[in-house]
Amino acid sequence: MKNKHLVISLFCLSLLNPAAPAFGQADDPVAEATAIERFRFEYFAEFGPVTLLDMLQRIPEAQQILAQSGGNRRGGGKRGFGSGGDQILMNGKRLSGKANNISDTMARVSAGNVQEIQLIRGNVEGLDVQSDGLVINVILEAGVSDSTTFWSVGGVYYEGHDVSPTFTVSHSGSWNDLEYMFGVERKHWEFHFDRDEIYLDADGVETGSLYVEGMYPRPSTAFTTNLTYNFGDSSVLRLNGLYEPRTEDGEELRIQEGASAFYRNTLRDASGSKWEVGGDYERSVGWFGRLKVLFVVNQDNQDELEERYNAPDAAFRYQSLAKIIDRSEKIIRGSFTRPIFTGQTIEVGAEGAFNTYDQKFDQFNYSDATTISDIIANDEVEISENRYEVFAIHNYTINDKMTLQTSLTTEFSQITADTILPNGDISRRQTSFTFPKPRVNLRYDLTDSDQIRLLAEKKVSQLNFQNFITRWDNGSQQLILGNTGIKPQEEWEFSAAIEHRFQELGSVEVQFFHTNFKDFISAVDFSEYEDELGNTIDADAYFALPPSDELRDATSFSAKSGNIPKATAYGVKLKSNIRLDTLGVPGGVLNVDYEYSTKNTRDQFTGAWRRLDRRSDHTLRLGYRHDITSWKFSYGVNSEFKSDYERFYINFYWPSSPYAQISAFAEQTIYAGIKARIEGNALTGKRQSAVKTNYSDHIRFNDISRVDIRDTRTAQEIRFSLQGTF
């Protein structure tokens, strides 16, 4: 109840406080910079855009960033606020939040409020980020007095299932020095799949088959607010709020025939919610320069119960899996920025981040409706991470063609993991870390159309705390044990990129990269090996012993997520965004995004040098968009192709071949401010094919128990909407 009161109080504060977020103040933080491609509102007028997202979709170079910004992250990912990579800014500032989705925010901003969109390549002084690639900076009109309401109504249809409604309503405007936006959005996403499996024994003889069918609807309703207040002393306060309750129910049916035939129906009942309040404050403080303070507070919880039945008319469940997750994050970051010499500025500051992750996982067997006959798993962990950073960022404009940005961040962190034992006692593991993280980024403009970017950077990954606790892996159908001793993964990244811009015809970029990993997080062998006399030995010594069924049966083979001493990655990325006007297709744009990367490490079970888990060597994304302005009509096709990838574990080897993913859309502006859109996703209806080789215990014995030949399909998805502003 206490948490609910806190949610309501913070959300109301973001709604009612006369101050707000990344909207307002049309000051251009990079007005003097020349190496910037600028798109004024007039450029988009012929397309009849309704929202800022409509405008961004007309810029070829923006497609990769929009594709990366969709969806929500769980577990690992960006550490703290982060400051690098491709990003979208509003008036030079980041959206001060992490759960808020930038693409959703762009879809709620009226096109009429946009003054200019800037494409910034490399590091440029005056931005709220350190970037090694492309930054899109949106300049909004300041003090827009007219209020605007954006609306969208529609639905989503999944092949073979009912249509589910969706809608969005947002209202923005200003009152004196206050600018505001309030919105509500009904979302609906579902995952439907079915799979056929054929089972073979070690000699290749068919022994059985399995049919799997899954349905997981995930509707949610998001309430959002963005506020900006411009004080008379040139200081600005921004606030963002989000509250999103959701359900994540589901059902999965498994019918196996042949050897070990069985029937299993799993019903999932899950619900949760997340909320977030973020903000930033900026003002001049005399000799100290410009003060910037950012903060975010969020919480995400989920309560999930899966019940398994072994017949269509089963009187009671025979097994249950229960999971309760409560995660939270609090971050505050402050810095001072000031010029020191001609063409040079320095920013110094500190950041504190405080994360918690509590999870309880139970898996029980039942002999009747109320009697637990077997406890398969009973694991409860409470995790807290306190992290502090001090940083200094130096920007040096060497001349009108060259800029250099260097920074040094030092991180101090402590992770405490408390395992709650069945008798109520606590087993605590506490670890402390210190990570220096230098960064050097050089931008050199060879010509007005050609740019070279060089980057060397040390990174530390955010831990995925789900790896700390036992969980059920639905793909491999087995328990994966947790490990509270995982350390953050360190990376040294080196890259060199060259980009050429074809005036108004698009651009092409080639980037070469190399990454060295330390304490790479992957599956690790945690088996405790002993010889016939009970002496502890390592894995190599164990498997060098003469074969012994007695010793093998007495050994408990175990794997968990852990740290591998090192891994490497290198490759090349190609990005090309070409307007096809000169080829006789006015309004046509082709996007090509290709990556070849080799990512390797030492397998912890076989000792062989192999690819990283689930990483394809080749990824190709193709996108085509055609705007027929005379008809006020647009359509396009997007596709993704990936090469084969593999999963490696102590008792299986699992190569997979993903199918091509294809989506398409069409939209028509009916009249000013009203647009109809339809889009289709997963149009091939196929997901992947795979051959999973299962071993009786440890893969090094090469004792094959069964080979699974799998073909997985997914439901096609159709979304449609009618949207406009008034």
For residue 506, the model assigns a pLDDT of 80
Same domain, 428 and 385: yes
In a domain, 352, yes or no: yes
What is d(CA 664, CA 686) in angstroms, rounded to the nearest whole number? 16
In a domain, 403, yes or no: yes
For residue 24, the model assigns a pLDDT of 43
Residues in the chain: 726
In a domain, 107, yes or no: yes
Same domain, 523 and 475: no
For residue 46, the 8-state DSSP code is G
Q: Phi and psi dihedrals of 534, rounded to 5?
A: 85, 10
536 CB neighbour count, 10 Å cutoff: 10
Same domain, 462 and 523: no
Same domain, 343 and 444: yes
Q: Which amino acid is at 62?
A: A
In a domain, 614, yes or no: yes
pLDDT in tens, 503-514: 777 889 999 999
Same domain, 575 and 640: yes
For residue 103, the model assigns a pLDDT of 67
In a domain, 679, yes or no: yes
Return the closest-CA partner of residue 482 out of 523, 539, 533. Answer: 523
**CA 448 from centre of chain:** 34
Residue pair 163/155 in contact by the 8 Å Cβ criterion: yes
In a domain, 198, yes or no: no
Q: What is the CATH number of the domain that holds 99?
A: 2.170.130
> Helix (H) and strand (E) counts for the chain?
7, 34
pLDDT along the chain (726 residues), means of 10: 44 35 49 70 80 82 68 48 64 68 72 83 65 78 70 94 93 84 93 97 96 96 89 82 95 94 96 94 86 93 97 94 96 93 92 96 95 94 96 92 93 95 91 96 90 94 91 91 93 95 84 96 95 93 92 94 95 92 88 94 93 94 91 93 96 97 94 88 95 96 96 97 88
Q: Helix or strand or coil: residue 98?
A: coil
> What is the number of structural domains in the chain?
3
Torsion sign over Cα 380, 297, 85, 135: positive
For residue 78, the model assigns a pLDDT of 59
Provide the domain limits for residue 609.
519-527+562-726
Tokens of 648: 């490696």
For residue 558, the model assigns a pLDDT of 94
Same domain, 491 and 627: no
Q: Which amino acid is at 3?
A: N
Same domain, 583 and 451: no
For residue 265, the model assigns a pLDDT of 97
Last residue of a domain, one of 85, 109, 141: 141
For residue 541, the model assigns a pLDDT of 95
Same domain, 465 and 375: yes
For residue 76, the 8-state DSSP code is S
Same domain, 476 and 523: no
Half-sphere exposure of 230 (CA within 13 A, CB side): 16
Same domain, 469 and 523: no
Last residue of a domain, one of 88, 111, 141: 141
In a domain, 286, yes or no: no
Q: Phi and psi dihedrals of 15, rounded to 5?
A: -80, -35
For residue 315, the 8-state DSSP code is S
For residue 67, the model assigns a pLDDT of 67
Last residue of a domain, one of 141, 164, 194: 141
What is d(CA 475, CA 468) in angstroms, rounded to the nearest whole number? 19
For residue 326, the model assigns a pLDDT of 97
Same domain, 578 and 715: yes
Same domain, 362 and 409: yes
What is d(CA 167, CA 179) in angstroms, rounded to the nearest whole number? 24
pTM, whole model, 2 decimals?
0.86
In a domain, 296, yes or no: no
Residue pair 109/103 in contact by the 8 Å Cβ criterion: no
453 CB neighbour count, 10 Å cutoff: 21
